[in-house]
Amino acid sequence: MKFVHTHFVKILLAVALAAFVSGCSFAPHYKRPAVETPATFKESPGTNNFDTNIWQVAQPGDAMLRSNWWVVFNDTNLDALENQVAISNQNVVVAFEQYRVAHEMVREAQAEYFPTLTGNPGVSRQRTYTGGGLTLRNPNVTVYDLPLDGSWQPDLWGKVRNTVRSSAAQAQASAADLENTKLTAQTELASDYFQLRGQDALIQLYSDTVGAYSNSLSLTRVLFKTGIDSDEDVAQAETQLETTEAEATNLGILRAQLEHAIAVLMGQPPEGFSLPLLPATISPPPIPSGVPSQLLQRRPDIAAAERTVASANAEIGVARAAFFPNVTLSASGGFESPTTGSLLKWGSRVWSIGASASQPIFNAGLPPAVIQYKAAYESSVAQYRQTVLTAFQQVEDNLSALRILRVQIQQQSVAVKSSLTYLNLATYRYKLGIDSYLNVITAQTTYLNNRQTLVNLYTQQMTDAITLIEDLGGGWNASQLPKN
């Protein structure tokens, strides 16, 4: 019996060694799905009259975007706000906790490599049958048990390994989703910040305009008192001033909403947060755009999509392994005795050892799961390629927008100068009594509208620059994904 026991143990150890060393894997060999990648962006320097002073192509080792990409704007107020997003934004916290769950799923899958051991000590009180004239001195018996049970399914067909690979890829996808959530919150805050500064510039513009219109009203009243002007001109000047004051007041609505949005992005209640008025019309600095192929490594959403493909590929191997028998090795041992004093004695030992295998035989026509997982894999490949195409489109959109905006700002600046000349001439002719005050109002309105348009163009340029940074991945790189 001892020989049989020892021989059987050797067989089990051999099976275990074979499972670790030469286990099969039925997952297809994984390779990143091929995507068509152009050599350069359509809006790259040297094409379509692209102005090289706007954006620059990054060379290896050049000033690439870093994780704290917002420092390129050289705005200390923005720096202070951005530094709070990654630790206080609640969407980022949610994404982080989701990553932690995905990471623990990897550890859970890895646990299947090892045997399961359970201990179940117990004590029971039993009564022996005393019927049929049988007389026992003490029919009540106490039994003490101290067992240890173990079971293990060797990974003969790669099911566990592919489950681990799938979980690890999903954890990496979750990590990329976390980075994408952070990037989205950071770029949204920067966009709101520069829109708020644009509102500040408009508020300053309207404040200056209200002052100018107030002076014009004073002039019409003086001319009316001297009999040069009419009460109609005074009424027109009053109406224009009051209308502009109302428009200036309305600018505060969007500014307040932007301020509230910035507070929430930093995880703060809007009540205790405020930003001082700081009028500014600035242009964005040059941003290294790189080449299209770099997007595959720089954008976290692309990395998440690619890792999802890798996970789906591993799941095919899990599904294929289900067609083969599941082998389970089990063993139990321990001590059993009617008294605690003899429980741990060698003679009280009990043990058993065995193996079993299970194989599905009939499933009533249920389609093989591998077909579903292959379809899921092909779907994830299509989603990955669509994500890449969308990324190319987004970068091209904002590169072209910035190129066109630069030209439009130059043209609008000329229009502002021309409208100022028009206003000065109209005012001069009005003072000489050649033209009515209506001409002055028309010139003032034209000048205000052109200046307002110019401020809005500067704001749009800044927000488009922020969007371009987001489209380029914000300085992130797929090499930063955890290895699990």
Among candidate residues 423, 442, 440, 446, the one with its CA nearest the CA of residue 223: 440
Taking the C-alpha atoms of residue 465 and residue 472, their distance in angstroms, rounded to an integer, is: 11
> Which residues, 6+ apart, have CB-to-CB distance to 188 below 8 Å?
261, 265
Quick one: pLDDT at residue 108?
87
Quick one: pLDDT at residue 370?
77
Mean pLDDT by 10 residues, the chain (484 residues): 47 52 72 89 61 45 72 93 91 91 90 81 67 58 72 83 92 95 96 97 96 93 85 92 96 97 94 90 83 90 96 89 78 70 67 75 63 92 96 94 95 98 95 89 96 97 96 91 84
Give the Cα-Cα-Cα angle 305, 306, 310 (nearest 5 degrees): 120
Among candidate residues 183, 98, 84, 95, the one with its CA nearest the CA of residue 394: 183
Quick one: pLDDT at residue 2?
45
The number of beta carbons lying within 10 Å of the beta carbon of residue 332 is 16
Quick one: pLDDT at residue 251?
96
Quick one: pLDDT at residue 267?
93
Quick one: pLDDT at residue 442?
95
Dihedral sign from CA coordinates of 98, 385, 187, 285: positive
Among candidate residues 111, 94, 95, 91, the one with its CA nearest the CA of residue 167: 111
**pTM of model > 0.85:** no
Quick one: pLDDT at residue 132?
55
Where helices occur in 75-158 by DSSP H, the ranges are 76-82, 85-88, 90-110
Taking the C-alpha atoms of residue 419 and residue 246, their distance in angstroms, rounded to an integer, is: 23
Query: Exposed e or buried b for every residue in 90-116, given b needs 16+ CB within 10 A?
Result: ebbeebbeebeebbebbeebbeeeeee
